[in-house]
Structure 1
Amino acid sequence: MNSIITTETPATAAPIRRGALHTLSILVNNEPGVLMRICQVFSRRGFNIDSLVVSEGRNANFSRMTIGISGNPDGLDQIIKQVSKLIDVIHCFEHTSDDSVTKELIMIKIACAEAERSQALHITAHFDGKTVDLTPSSMIVMITGDSPKIDAAVTMFSQFQIIETVRTGKVVMARGEQPT
């Protein structure tokens, strides 16, 4: 008999928040040690990194970091100034939903018998998701959207046994002509 091992926290556990949520976009030189120096600035100021996405830009010499942080908003301007002064940082901006588009991706693996499959597929379709893997006893669903949509999808899928989730964290792009 196969048993499913899960690394997830129960759906009833509330996430720990340590202050207001902020999304920063940081353009950096693609060099070793840059991320460590940026993380030290957040740590010294008592901000927690909730999500982190780093990828090489169109030019391989640069990387874009999108960092979701929580902490006292009074210290945010100081953090942005300190990060901007670091070697290898080109610029650092805070983005809000008014000036940017923010999306996340989640993959959810659920235990799903054949009898439950149509209900799981219905939930997937509701959230404009896609089934990326299907076995006789489980399925993996991929959903993209803003944070509330992702949270709602996880809540709906919690009626099944969630084996595992993998969530990207936020990616952000400034609207219009404004740089990200």
Structure 2
Amino acid sequence: MEQILSIVVRNQPGVLMRVAGMFSRRGFNIDSLAVGTTQNPEFSRMTVTMEADEPTIIQVTKQLAKLVEVERVKVLPPKSSATRSMILVKVKAGNKRPELLQLAEVFRAHAVDVTGESLIFVATGDEGKLRAFVDVMRPYGVTEMVQTGLVALERGDTSLAVEKSRFEWPQMDDGHAAI
């Protein structure tokens, strides 16, 4: 079953390698990965998708929580999460440019580059929509494409936002950590 993990980590060098290394060492495959800075620049959010049963995903979350750089880990329920991926698709245009632009509109895709011989479209959505968009463009000659990993947030009022690290000690008046 596809699982979506939302992982809040410290925004510092080497963290991605440590998280990916944990997956690799234990033989878990990452299907998609997206990483970006959160509203607090000290932290980044990783969205990882993987195929895993219930015992495996529990093991993964426990192993991730042991990493010092990991602040929070949550398995997001697919049905109650807002999820999106983005794809860029370069298509041969030739004399089919108007037709391609009309087809793109159906998928709410937009042309982000127009040259004499090709168009580059950007589309966002779920995996099914993006696959359908590529399938429609394929007969015209897809010359290149690239897709981001899934990004996801749980719907509703819950949040994984982190204001400060779980490992930060309160500061005393003299600036030293209160231990």
- Normalising by the smaller structure, the TM-score range is 0.7 to 0.9
- Give the corresponding residue for 1:95: 76
Counterpart of 1:36 in structure 2: which amino acid? M
Distance 1:76 1:68 in 2: 11
Distance 1:82 1:179 in 2: 21
1:125 aligns with 2:78: no
Q: For residues 36-75 of structure 1, what are the structure 2 equivalents within 5 Å?
A: 36-75=17-56
Distance 2:38 2:81 in 1: 18
- Give the corresponding residue for 2:130: 150
Aligned Cα root-mean-square deviation (Å): 1.4
Structure 1 residue runs of 5 or longer lacking an equivalent are: 1-19
Counterpart of 2:121 in structure 1: which amino acid? V
Identity %: 38
1:173 aligns with 2:161: no
Distance 1:42 1:117 in 2: 44
1:81-109 deviation digits (Å, cap 9, x = unpaired): 11012101111111122221000111100
Q: Which has the higher helix share?
A: 2
Q: How many residues are aligned here?
A: 160
Check whether the contact 1:23–1:68 (CA below 8 A) recurs between aligned residues: yes
- Give the corresponding residue for 1:6: none
Shift of 1:47: 1.8
Q: SS at 2:33's partner residue? A: strand
1:137 aligns with 2:128: no
Q: For residues 10-25 of structure 1, what are the structure 2 equivalents within 5 Å?
A: 20-25=1-6
Check whether the contact 2:77–2:154 (CA below 8 A) recurs between aligned residues: no
Normalised by the length of structure 1, the TM-score is 0.83
Check whether the contact 1:48–1:71 (CA below 8 A) recurs between aligned residues: no
- Give the corresponding residue for 2:175: none
Distance 2:54 2:127 in 1: 20
Shift of 1:73: 4.8
1:79 aligns with 2:60: yes
